[in-house]
Structure 1
Amino acid sequence: EVLPDVRIRTVEREEVEREHKIRAQATATTANVGKLRKKGRSTTEKSSPPTSAPPPLSLETMMTQGEGRANKGLVLSHRCLGNEYMPAIVSCVRGCSFLTAIRIDSNNFDDVGLGALLITLRDLKGSRVTELDISNNKRLTWQAAKPLASLLADDQTHTKLHTLTMVGVELGNKGVEILGPAVAKSHPLRSLDLRRCAIGDIGAAKLSAMLHENTELEVLRLAWNNIRAKGGKALAEMLRQHPSLMGLDLSHNALGDVGGSYIAHSLVLHRTMEWVDLSCNHLQVGSCMALSEVVRGRMDSIHHDDGAPGGGEDGGTADRSNTVVPLRSLTIDGNEISFLGGYWLLKGLASADLGHTSEAHESSATASGPATSTCEITMNRCSLF
């Protein structure tokens, strides 16, 4: 007879208890609203409220007056509020149908507190919220990815996020694995910021695989993680099949010369990328040779499209995936590319036959051409001499 695994039952029980806590936090909000308002009215009679009390003025009242309505955003950044304030925030979100942005970064919310807000956004009919910033809530763990994935992936959700910022949330590879399928299904999402989220090569590969399905994302930020050459290769394969990405931030990782070359080669044929940041990635001459081909190859594609039938101003309207956009900004600060690396980058700019500006901490060079586009390469602290 096979005995049941006690460890599996323990994990399942913990998951059920956590889900019950999140739902209890959300359903208790309505009951707490009256108490919060009573405390708000009673503050005029008390000299000083206790430190653990909610704000004396309800957030709903604050948002329906003055700058709140004008900006259409709930901005509570850097307040260190904690979970005891979450009922008031949820009440504000429910009562202010005009809200388009919620910024609760740098507070003290944990997985349970944030889960109550995310469930409310998922079930709130008529929600107009398109921007959510939950950065630097240090008590959040990879468990926060579960209600967030439910918000992004649920076909019945009433909140369609366009911008999601999670800087400093310790998702790790496990959290990205949970969040990845939701990102793949969330076609309204345009900007995803996962800086300082403890993502490694495994997480980068999981995210890249999911982004093959979501071709609407325009900006991806993965700076200050632990992505190495293997993760860079996975991201490069994603870039080859992602027609809409316009900005990529991979600074302060550990791509190395091999990983940087993978990224550069994938950008040569990319048609919409406008800016790339590869600062502090241990790039060397090999990456610079590949990046010079990015600038030169993209400009050649633009000139070729301009001369092709239908590519000019009078040739009709082409769809976005067939329009080549010039690379306008390339940042490689903090990489010891040496004089030879700088030479290859400037050679690529000169070969592109267009105006460019190159700024460096130790040296700078400028050349101009008759073209209408400009590519700027920044090489601060690159040991050019």
Structure 2
Amino acid sequence: VCVGGFFFLKLKTPPTTLNLAGNQISVRGGEALAEALKVNKTLTTLNLAWNQISIRGGEALAKALKVNKTLTTLNLSVNLISVGGSEAVAEALKVNTTLTALELGGNQISDGGGEALAEGLKVNTTLTTLYLRSNKISDGGAEALAEALKVNKTLTTLYLQSNKISDGGAEALAEALKVNTTLTTLNLSENLISVRRGEALAEALKVNKTLTTLDLSWNKISHEGGVALAEALKVNKTLTTLDLRSNEISDGGAETLAEALKVNTTLTTLDVSWNKISDGGGVALAEALKVNTTLTTLDLYGNQISDGGGVALAEALKVNKTLTTLYLRRNEISDGGGETLAEALKVNTTLTTLDLSWNKISDGGAEVLAEALKVCTGIGIHTEIPIPKIPIPAIPNFGIGWIGFGVPQWHQFRRYTSSDKEYYGLWSYCQDQNVTKVCQRWPTAEKELYNNGTRPHYVSITEALITMGMILLTLGLLVAVIAALIPLLVFLGAAIGIFSFILLLIGLPVFGREANSLSKERGDVQYTHRYGFWLFVPVIILEFLATMFWIGAGILYELYGFGNVSTRGYYTLDKVKRPGNGITGKPRTPMRPTINRAPSSMYQSFASLPSIMQATSVRLNTPQSQMVYNRPPILSIPNRAPYLRI
């Protein structure tokens, strides 16, 4: 039986999971799927993210949810559903008894949709996971959801990142956490939460008994909010993951968090990256690591820790028995800190990942760390090989091109009617007349060479094509240098390289062919020099290689986010020392460290890039849910082999 083309939902043995994300399904397709869901008895997971089913499609699917008895996971993110569609879905939640995971991210449901869903949550008894990121929900919607959390008994995961929740909404959610007994994960990253409401959330953590993961990254809780959360950690017995990235907590906040770590016995992951923490905060956290027995991951990426903090952390690693991952990327650690960390690695028996990339460690520090790895058997080395700062193929191409086609001496012949030599280049024509060399620009020389003064067409063509090609190549080199500050300019360099390559590819053969014709026409009997002709092929090849370099660097940056790829892109090689077999290595495809990307309204701006979202699937860390979401990781760090990044 076929319903709107989706006949497989009514087959005798239909699938249990259907992923249609990133297609062009509109209202009609959404309605057809909805009709199929009304009779289907087996489908449990339906992913329709990144389509255009809009309000009507959302309403049709909502009606189907009132009847369907098997679907447990529904992903409708980025579908232009807005308020009307979300209200219909909310009504369905009041009667549906099977759905456990619902994704509505990137739909601009705003406060109206948030309030409607809140009403649905008050009645619903099965939903455990709700994703509402990037929906323009402000305090009104957050307050309504907070009221729902006070009575709901099943929801365990709530994502509200990248909305417009400020103090009012945050305070309401804090009050709800004091009462709620089921929520384990709350994501409020990239909102507008300030110091006072950070303090309110901290007060809630003192009494809450269920929350295990709290993400407050990219807000404005600052030093005072960090202090309040630290005080809460001294009392809280359930929180295992706390993300405070980019909140300007500075040394004061880091020091109070360190004091909390000395007594806290549950926190396993703490992210305080991009918080302006210097040596003072680093030393305090190091002292805490000497005492703490539960923390396994500490992220200090993008702070201002120098050798003082590095030395303190190294001393802590000598006695700490639980930390497995330490991120110190983009700090100010030089050889002194690197050497002390190397000494710590010889003693430490638990650390498996140490990231020291983008610091100030030179060959001396790297050599000491390498020696440490000969002793340490539990940690591997991650070697990053920088791409040269300026595309190597472009440099000789630059010189060869300008010399080969600008110097007349490189295209020389002797006429049969005299002993005079004639020379010609891209821009000028010369003659040897009784030992005297006379050179003229082509516009002047052509009047003497040809009675009617007609310019050889190869001159007019190649002067334009090759000159522009060489100018573009020069501009491309300048762009490569400027890209040291602005990495995305590497794409401009690639575009310039492509145009330069096309112009040279057309202009150079024309120059060679027509130059030979001119030589014969003028009575050429002896080829004295033809060096310039031999340069045609290498110039074209080198320009092609330069263009490929720029394109490759751009792809590396876009796929893996390796900083400034026009000057420091990376090929990677992992070498892990294992007992009994020495050092072995294998190439590895690096993963983009999405946890380190700057905040943005990515779910709104990525509407035209569904392929990017399809590239990354993340399974919810919730036992009750088996939903796979096509979105970048929010809190999770990809599992990797143990390595040391220098």
Match of 2:287 in 1: 293
C-alpha spacing 1:106/1:382, structure 2 compared with 1 (3 Å): farther
Match of 2:311 in 1: 343
Match of 1:189 in 2: 183
CA–CA separation in structure 1 for the residues paired with 2:56 and 2:281: 54
Match of 1:315 in 2: none
Deviations 1:167-221 (CA, angstroms, capped at 9, x unpaired): 0121211211222111110021111111012111111111111221113211111
Match of 1:283 in 2: 277
CA–CA separation in structure 2 for the residues paired with 1:60 and 1:187: 28
Task: Give the deviation of 1:378 after TM superposition.
Answer: 4.2
**Does structure 1 retain, via aligned residues, the 8 Å contact 2:90–2:119?**
no
- The 5 A counterparts of 1:18-33 are none
CA–CA separation in structure 2 for the residues paired with 1:211 and 1:360: 28
- The 5 A counterparts of 1:257-272 are 257-272=251-266
Match of 1:133 in 2: 131
Deviations 1:313-360 (CA, angstroms, capped at 9, x unpaired): xxxxxxxxxxxxx31110100001012211111110013367856565
Deviations 1:293-327 (CA, angstroms, capped at 9, x unpaired): 2221024xxxxxxxxxxxxxxxxxxxxxxxxxx31
Task: Give the deviation of 1:92 after TM superposition.
Answer: 4.2
C-alpha spacing 1:343/1:149, structure 2 compared with 1 (3 Å): same
Task: Give the deviation of 1:134 after TM superposition.
Answer: 1.0
Q: Are 2:137 and 1:145 aligned?
A: no
Deviations 1:30-59 (CA, angstroms, capped at 9, x unpaired): xxxxxx99x947x99xxxxx9976119931
CA–CA separation in structure 2 for the residues paired with 1:198 and 1:375: 36
Match of 1:59 among 53, 58, 61: 61
**Does structure 1 retain, via aligned residues, the 8 Å contact 2:86–2:113?**
yes
Deviations 1:110-163 (CA, angstroms, capped at 9, x unpaired): 212221122022123xx211111111102x211112221221113xx4x42111
Match of 1:102 in 2: 102
CA–CA separation in structure 2 for the residues paired with 1:195 and 1:344: 30
**Does structure 2 retain, via aligned residues, the 8 Å contact 1:236–1:266?**
yes
C-alpha spacing 1:255/1:212, structure 2 compared with 1 (3 Å): same
CA–CA separation in structure 2 for the residues paired with 1:202 and 1:219: 20
- Of stretches 268-277 and 171-180 in structure 1, the one that deviates more from structure 2 is 171-180
Task: Give the deviation of 1:69 after TM superposition.
Answer: 4.7
Match of 1:237 among 214, 217, 231: 231
**Does structure 1 retain, via aligned residues, the 8 Å contact 2:117–2:145?**
no
- Which AA in structure 2 matches 1:129? L
3-state DSSP of counterpart to 1:259: helix
**Does structure 2 retain, via aligned residues, the 8 Å contact 1:332–1:379?**
no
Match of 2:242 among 244, 248, 272: 248
**Does structure 2 retain, via aligned residues, the 8 Å contact 1:217–1:245?**
yes
3-state DSSP of counterpart to 1:132: strand
Percent of matched pairs sharing the same residue: 26
3-state DSSP of counterpart to 2:292: helix
CA–CA separation in structure 1 for the residues paired with 2:131 and 2:53: 26
CA–CA separation in structure 2 for the residues paired with 1:75 and 1:133: 9
Unaligned runs of 5+ in 2: 1-26, 36-51, 331-337, 363-646
Match of 1:166 in 2: 160
Task: Give the deviation of 1:80 after TM superposition.
Answer: 2.5
- Which AA in structure 2 matches 1:190? T
Calculate the aligned-residue CA RMSD, in Å.
Answer: 3.3
Match of 1:332 among 292, 295, 300: 300
Match of 2:484 in 1: none
- Which AA in structure 2 matches 1:133? Y
CA–CA separation in structure 1 for the residues paired with 2:323 and 2:171: 43
Unaligned runs of 5+ in 1: 1-35, 45-49, 300-325
**Does structure 2 retain, via aligned residues, the 8 Å contact 1:333–1:382?**
no
C-alpha spacing 1:198/1:345, structure 2 compared with 1 (3 Å): same
Match of 2:199 in 1: 205
C-alpha spacing 1:375/1:244, structure 2 compared with 1 (3 Å): farther
3-state DSSP of counterpart to 1:327: coil
C-alpha spacing 1:272/1:379, structure 2 compared with 1 (3 Å): farther
Deviations 1:236-259 (CA, angstroms, capped at 9, x unpaired): 111101011111100111011111
C-alpha spacing 1:384/1:351, structure 2 compared with 1 (3 Å): farther
- Which AA in structure 2 matches 1:144? G
Task: Give the deviation of 1:380 after TM superposition.
Answer: 4.8
Q: Are 2:217 and 1:223 aligned?
A: yes
- Of stretches 179-188 and 93-102 in structure 1, the one that deviates more from structure 2 is 93-102
Task: Give the deviation of 1:379 after TM superposition.
Answer: 4.9
**Does structure 2 retain, via aligned residues, the 8 Å contact 1:338–1:383?**
no
Match of 1:117 in 2: 117
**Does structure 1 retain, via aligned residues, the 8 Å contact 2:183–2:210?**
yes
**Does structure 2 retain, via aligned residues, the 8 Å contact 1:359–1:380?**
no
**Does structure 2 retain, via aligned residues, the 8 Å contact 1:63–1:74?**
no
Task: Give the deviation of 1:60 after TM superposition.
Answer: 5.0
3-state DSSP of counterpart to 1:118: helix
CA–CA separation in structure 2 for the residues paired with 1:225 and 1:345: 27
C-alpha spacing 1:211/1:359, structure 2 compared with 1 (3 Å): closer
3-state DSSP of counterpart to 2:102: strand
- Of stretches 331-340 and 374-383 in structure 1, the one that deviates more from structure 2 is 374-383
C-alpha spacing 1:243/1:378, structure 2 compared with 1 (3 Å): farther
Match of 2:76 in 1: 76
Tell me the matched-pair count.
308
CA–CA separation in structure 1 for the residues paired with 2:220 and 2:320: 33
**Does structure 1 retain, via aligned residues, the 8 Å contact 2:114–2:145?**
no
**Does structure 1 retain, via aligned residues, the 8 Å contact 2:114–2:142?**
no
3-state DSSP of counterpart to 1:54: helix
3-state DSSP of counterpart to 1:89: helix
- Which AA in structure 2 matches 1:148? L
**Does structure 1 retain, via aligned residues, the 8 Å contact 2:217–2:245?**
yes
3-state DSSP of counterpart to 1:263: helix
CA–CA separation in structure 1 for the residues paired with 2:158 and 2:189: 11
**Does structure 2 retain, via aligned residues, the 8 Å contact 1:219–1:248?**
yes
**Does structure 1 retain, via aligned residues, the 8 Å contact 2:223–2:249?**
yes
Q: Are 2:345 and 1:367 aligned?
A: yes
Query: Which is higher, the Rg of structure 1 or of structure 2?
Result: 2
- Which AA in structure 1 matches 2:281? S
